[in-house]
Structure 1
Amino acid sequence: MYDVIVVGARCAGSPAALQLARAGYRVLMVERSKFPKDTLSTLYIHQPGVALLDQWGVLPEVVATGCPPLDRATYTTGDIRVQGVSWPVDGQQAAYAPRRFLLDQILARAAVEAGAELRENCSVSDLVFEDDRVVGVRLSSGGTETVERARLVIGADGMRSTVAAKVKAPHEVEAPTLTCCYYSYWSGLPAEFRLYQTPGSWVGTVPTNDGATLVAAYYPQGKFADIKGDGLKALLDSAERTAPEVRAEMDRGEQVERLFGTGNQLNFFRKAAGPGWALIGDAGHHKDSITARGITDAFLQAQLLVECIGDGLQDPDRLDKALGEFAEERTEMLVPDYKSTLKTAELNPPEHHLEMLRAIATSGDLSDRYFSTLSGACPIEEFVTEELLDLMDEMADA
């Protein structure tokens, strides 16, 4: 019998398994794919996520993959250009964007080195219940089915989570799908994290490994049916309209990967936990990828769950209390960024937002505070300062 079975060994599951194994628990990770394996992702890890990588002792290995440190950001909308850098988090000022077939394998390997057991090419077909409590999983691998039992089953198996489906975890918060996205990788672009917006369009560049840069374009969800027949043309056209300097760089460079895309960016919070189970990462909470919060939020959820469990996993009453605390704190932690992401994903910033950005662009300190809010280094509620309000008033009177 295991103390914990973690379903999914990527950006949420492996960090949870890593820390639980280090705490002395007997941990089994099951992963339906085999590493190294790519997955749909915008790659970007904000500074709070980088700080956790450092805390877990795996940041040096991530940096060693060669993905460049991203310590400056630029956001351009119309004639407004904001340039700055996020505040550091626990000494980490740079963001990173490693390819997922590298990052996920690093995290899974670290969990195994900490003592967790990993079964690849292994999927969960069902959960095992006793009364209303989850007490194990039914696994399928290579045509063979086995049952493994545990005190806690953690679903870290993505937006379409099997664990969530089997426990019938309801959506506690839900919003309509707002954007669709296409992206690919080009060589020859500057190693700069850049965001561009025009009404109804958003383009971003994310430098990653091997000198490649991810170029992504976002469109209103209602356009997906029209553009999905030729996503590459849509991406190139969007770059031409919204980020012409990037489009010129793409022409001078070379596309080095196939096209990726999605028209299914769901926005929800599922119930986070129940008797004998918990959901982390996209299994518990998913939102539009336009703000690139997915990896960082997965790390934060894994860390929070482990902290709530502490040394109480062996006692069902203590565990249930810990899971309740996790569920409450998870939602409280992630709701502000969820709301701001939905506003961004509307792809139509209101005039007062543009006026605010125009003021921010004139101040290095305010620009840094702005990007610190996007990264999570500055709480959203602390973003609007007297300095910003006074500056906006001055510009309005000019």
Structure 2
Amino acid sequence: MDFDVIVVGARPAGAATAMLLARAGLRVLAVDRARFPSDTLSTHQIQIPGGALLRRWGILDKLIERGTPAARSVHFDAGPAVLRGDYAAHDGVDAVYSPRRTVLDALLVAEARAAGAIVEEGFVVEDLIRDGGHTGGGRVTGIRGKRKGATVARTITAHLVVGADGKHSTVAKAVRARTYRARPPLTAACYGYFADLPLKGGEVYTRPDRMVGLWPTGDDLTIVYLGVPVSRFSDVRRPEGFRAAVSEPGDLRDRIAAATLVEHLRATTDVPGLIRHPYGPGWALAGDAGLVMDPITGQGIGNALRDADALAAAIVATFDGDRKAFRAYHRARDAARRPIYDLTARFAAFRPDPAGEILFPALAEDPAQVARFLGVLAGTVAVRDFFSPANLRSVVGARGLLRMAAARAAARLFR
């Protein structure tokens, strides 16, 4: 075999996986059709567990040195009430970071190379090869592809091929990875970079027909994100419609009017939700290739980094003879992600939850519970723990819990 592992895709999931495997002493090749630095549609946010991994790997300080600011506090305007609080520290990290992908991805690729991985940029994978060198069925034993502009395809072999090539993964399609809990695109996701729009932390505004997020990024810019029902895509995909939509909540109108949109507006409706079985004979999946959710909760980069960490450990264990390592990776991934996957789908559906009229005003009066709620969104507090009946009762009281249940039942009755 030419390599122990070939990683297809060298953005966060792929570059981090390649880096960790190379650090563990494996022979690693990572390929990507892009050349770095390059931009891509992105949620930007590195939630706190992802930041903790970057810190452990010795990368977070380098990201900060490249101009990525920290957001340690959040202004969360839920409509019925405004929650203000700071993130609780987790593994030495107490902030969300929102780097430009031109910065983050290039840094991770550089770290993969520094660890000893070979990274080929501008390389397009055309197919996988199987036992005996044939495409089709059998164990995956490598890739076939070529650099952009080349006329002759190359065959490169490996004991394992990792698909870290996004939600439209070539690897996942080639192996026909089983998909489950799939959800169609429900939102239009749009964002732009604004100058002269200062923030003290992050800001989130939720309304029945939109979610607006503002986060500091590099070059003293603010990324302004807008999520709306997919039916409204044509209304917000251009700068004038986007500005109108993000100006409505709270006190944003004057600040957005005074700010300058730099670069072009990014907008897409290609935001499905799906989960794929993440391993099989000679192959495995990481990042959006294995599990993708609507960007409205900003989980993508953090999920990619956590997948890289867990999958790299599973690969090393498998090479050491542990036949159950991939199964454990699959189970742990789903157990950790499905609650936030389902919560994200509820946000993306833009179905008003009348229980929020009871929950959020009570929550705003309890700083400790505000911190826990922010921890849910940042990935440090389990969804099921925060939304358990016992915890909700501690926030709104027994009568409040009954009122929340009654409000939701009435909403279902008249929907």
TM-score, with normalisation over the residues of structure 2? Answer: 0.90
Matched with 2:189 is: 181
Matched with 2:8 is: 7
Q: Which stretch shifts more, 323-332 or 284-293?
A: 323-332
Matched with 2:98 is: 97
Matched with 1:54 is: 55
Question: Matched residue of 1:12: which SS?
Answer: helix
Matched with 1:374 is: 377
Distance change (3 Å), C-alpha of 1:276 and 1:391:
closer
Gaps of 5+ in 1: none
1:117-136 alignment runs, 5 A limit: 117-130=118-131, 132-136=138-142
Write the distance in 2 (CA, Å) between the matches of 1:176 and 1:34: 30
Matched with 1:36 is: 37
Q: 2:187 matched to 1:165?
A: no
TM-superposed CA distance for 1:242, in Å, is 2.5
Write the distance in 2 (CA, Å) between the matches of 1:216 and 1:24: 40
**What do residues 56-81 of structure 1 show as CA deviations (whole Å, max 9, x unaligned)?**
11111101111211100111022410
1:284-295 alignment runs, 5 A limit: 284-295=290-301
Write the distance in 2 (CA, Å) between the matches of 1:354 and 1:309: 47
Question: Matched residue of 1:249: which SS?
Answer: helix
Write the distance in 1 (CA, Å) between the matches of 2:37 and 2:208: 38
Matched with 1:148 is: 156
Write the distance in 1 (CA, Å) between the matches of 2:254 and 2:351: 25
Write the distance in 2 (CA, Å) between the matches of 1:79 and 1:356: 9
Question: Matched residue of 2:263: which SS?
Answer: coil
Matched with 2:338 is: 335
TM-superposed CA distance for 1:314, in Å, is 6.3
Are the counterparts in 2 of residues 123 and 140 from structure 1 also a CA contact under 8 Å?
Answer: yes
Distance change (3 Å), C-alpha of 1:43 and 1:391:
closer
Write the distance in 2 (CA, Å) between the matches of 1:272 and 1:242: 40
TM-superposed CA distance for 1:196, in Å, is 0.4
> One-letter code of the match for 2:14?
G
Are the counterparts in 2 of residues 51 and 90 from structure 1 also a CA contact under 8 Å?
Answer: yes
Question: Matched residue of 1:127: which SS?
Answer: strand
What is the aligned counterpart of 2:329 among 315, 323, 326? 326
Distance change (3 Å), C-alpha of 1:138 and 1:194:
same
Q: Identity, % of aligned pairs?
A: 35
Write the distance in 1 (CA, Å) between the matches of 2:57 and 2:394: 42
> One-letter code of the match for 2:206?
Q
Are the counterparts in 1 of residues 369 and 395 from structure 2 also a CA contact under 8 Å?
Answer: no
> One-letter code of the match for 2:351?
N
1:109-258 alignment runs, 5 A limit: 109-130=110-131, 132-141=138-147, 142-143=149-150, 144-191=152-199, 192-224=201-233, 226-227=234-235, 230-243=237-250, 245-258=251-264
> One-letter code of the match for 2:88?
W
Write the distance in 2 (CA, Å) between the matches of 1:270 and 1:354: 36
Write the distance in 2 (CA, Å) between the matches of 1:338 and 1:220: 18
Q: Which stretch shifts more, 381-390 or 233-242?
A: 381-390
Are the counterparts in 2 of residues 195 and 203 from structure 1 also a CA contact under 8 Å?
Answer: yes
Matched with 1:260 is: 266
Q: Which stretch shifts more, 247-256 or 298-307?
A: 247-256
Matched with 1:25 is: 26
**What do residues 306-329 of structure 1 show as CA deviations (whole Å, max 9, x unaligned)?**
1222343265xx4x5322222222
> One-letter code of the match for 2:196?
G
TM-superposed CA distance for 1:246, in Å, is 2.3
Write the distance in 2 (CA, Å) between the matches of 1:152 and 1:239: 45
RMSD: 1.9
Write the distance in 1 (CA, Å) between the matches of 2:117 and 2:295: 30
Are the counterparts in 1 of residues 17 and 312 from structure 2 also a CA contact under 8 Å?
Answer: yes
Gaps of 5+ in 2: 132-136, 403-415
> One-letter code of the match for 2:198?
P
Question: Matched residue of 1:177: which SS?
Answer: coil
Write the distance in 2 (CA, Å) between the matches of 1:283 and 1:394: 43
